[in-house]
Chain A
Amino acid sequence: MLAGGLLSAKDVTLDELMNVQRRVQAAYEPARKAVVAIECGGGTASGVIVSPAGLVLTAAHVTNGPGKRVKVVLWDGRTVEAKSVGLDETTDAAMVQLPAPSRAWPYVTVNREVRSINLGDWCFAVGNPGGWDAARGSVLRVGKVVKITSNMLQSDCTLMGGDSGGALFDLSGQLIGIHSRIWRGLDQNLHVSMAPYLRSWDAMKRGDVVKVWARGSGGWMGLSTEVVDGGLHVQAVAPESPALKAGLKAGDLILSLNNKVFAAPVEFAEAIRNRMSGEIVTLKIRTGPQERTVEVKLGKRPEE
Chain B
Amino acid sequence: MRHGVLGILATVIALTGVAHLSAQDALDENLRTNGVEVLKAIAPTVAKIKACRAVLGETKDKPVLTGLIVSADGYILTKWSELAPLKKPRVWLPDGTDVEAKVVTHDDKLDLALVKIARSGLTPVEWAGQPVAWRMGQWLCAPVHDSDEPRLGVMSARRRPIPNSGAVLGVRFEPSEKGDRGVTIEEVAHNGPADQAGLKSGDVILQVDGQTVNQTSAVRRVLSKLHPGDVIKVQYARKEKDKDKEKEAECEVKLGSANHVFMNWTGGDFANHGTSLRTDNFPDVIQHALPVTPQDMGGGLFDLEGRALGINIARVDRVTNYALPAESFLPMMQQWLQEDRGRQGK
Contact = CB atoms under 8 A, between A and B. Distances in A.
B6 A179 contact: yes
Interface residues of A, number: 73
A42 to B, nearest CB: 8
Interface string B21-64: 11111111011111001101110000000000000000000000
B271 A184 contact: yes
B291 interface: yes
A143 B139 CA distance: 11
A163 B37 contact: no
B232 interface: no
Contacts of A154: 18, 26
Nearest to B160: A135
Contact of A12 (B15, B26, B37, B157): B37
Contacts of A182: 6, 10-11, 14, 271, 318
B6 A21 contact: no
Contacts of A205: none
Contacts of A119: 25-27
A11 B317 contact: no
Contact of B14 (A43, A137, A148, A181): A181
A28 B137 contact: yes
A253 B330 CA distance: 69
Interface in A7-41: 9, 11-14, 16-18, 21, 24-25, 28
Given A21-B137, A141-B156, A183-B11, A162 B27 contact: no
A136 interface: yes
Interface string A190-231: 100000000000000000000000000000000000010000
Interface stretch (A76-84, A103-111, A244-252, A262-270): A262-270
Contacts of B272: 160
Contact of A264 (B22, B38, B271): B22
Nearest to B263: A130
Given A161-B4, A162-B6, A186-B318, A140 B13 contact: no
A146 B317 contact: no
Across the A-B interface, the 7 shortest Cβ-Cβ residue pairs: A161-B4, A162-B4, A164-B6, A43-B5, A45-B5, A181-B14, A160-B318
25 contacts: A4-B25, A12-B41, A16-B41, A17-B139, A44-B3, A119-B27, A129-B317, A129-B318, A129-B319, A131-B4, A137-B157, A140-B137, A140-B156, A142-B154, A145-B27, A147-B25, A159-B318, A160-B4, A181-B13, A182-B14, A183-B18, A184-B270, A186-B318, A264-B21, A264-B22
Interface of A: 2-6, 9, 11-14, 16-18, 21, 24-25, 28, 42-45, 59, 61-62, 119-120, 124, 128-131, 135-149, 152, 154, 156, 158-165, 179-184, 186-188, 190, 227, 263-267
